[in-house]
Copies of this chain bind each other. A is one copy, B any other.
Amino acid sequence: MAEAFRAALAAAARETQDVLRERLAAHDLPVAQAMEHAVTGGKGLRGFLVLEGARLHDVAREAARLPAAGIEALHAYSLVHDDLPAMDDDDLRRGQPTVHVAWDEATAILAGDALQSLAFELCADPLVGSHRADLCLALARAGGIAGMVGGQARDIMAETSETPLDLARITELQQGKTGALIRWSAEAGAVMAGADAGPLGRYAQALGLAFQIADDILDVEGDAAKMGKAARKDAAAGKATFVSLLGLDAAKARAAELVEAACDALSPYGAAAGTLRETARFVIARES
């Protein structure tokens, strides 16, 4: 079962990467190659959530794969900019040199910028259907100052702040930094169908928090080789995380509780949501 799930996740990642590669193939510029590098090799979790949510709402795969590729482009842009020397200054991502290392900083800035544009281009495509504007609006909010960028800004502020973060503030930070895009991804299929996104939204909220706690656990327990990026960065930076605040065992217990809550939120979909339940379990079981 877990094997079948991993295969489905990998197949979806290939599918969204193919959409992105096809869009970039027309452009014979180093920045286009840098964009392709940036969207290659990820788990494709966000795109997978879009595809699964769309399946539950009978949205055609040809339509759903565009926002699925779009959210992967948006996520990739955030990583490219996050890895820049002025930000996290990371040399390694998904086991490969980061964009500013493989090319240069100017190319990394521009590649990130164009990946964000590409995300909106894919979501606004007429093939996405009559709710494409709502999808764009939700993506702009999830990615902007009230969502992901706001979370990143709070994260940077926390690093230089005298007062360490408490659990409430770290949860708020997570809801922006990683939660907003995960929620958009899970809700996208319902939005495309013009249906109630409530159950998928509640699923995503629990999933996003579980995902961040699992990330903090990985930072402590993870294997840098398997993760394809540096480990123990947070502890080295003396950063408050769910693990440093709760302790390792309580953090694991909290993540498991959240996965159960995520699965419960899917009850209106019955057995059809089995893959999304597996996704939630995968999120805390993953090694990278």
- Which A residues are within 8 Å of any B CB, using their own CB? 24, 26-27, 29-32, 35, 77-78, 81, 84, 86-87, 104-107, 109-110, 112-114, 116-118, 120-121, 123-126, 132-134, 136-137, 139-141, 143-146, 149-150, 152-154, 156-157
Contacts and interface: CB of A to CB of B under 8 A. Distances in A.
Contact of A114 (B110, B117, B132, B145): B145
A120 B149 contact: no
Contact of A149 (B30, B117, B126, B139): B117
Given A106-B156, A141-B121, A149 B113 contact: yes
A35 B146 CA distance: 13
Given A31-B145, A117-B144, A106 B87 contact: yes
A168 to B, nearest CB: 17
A140 B124 contact: yes
A106 B118 contact: no
Contacts of A146: 26-27
A112 B109 CA distance: 10
A120 B120 contact: yes
B145 A29 contact: yes
A157 B30 contact: yes
Contacts of A84: 109
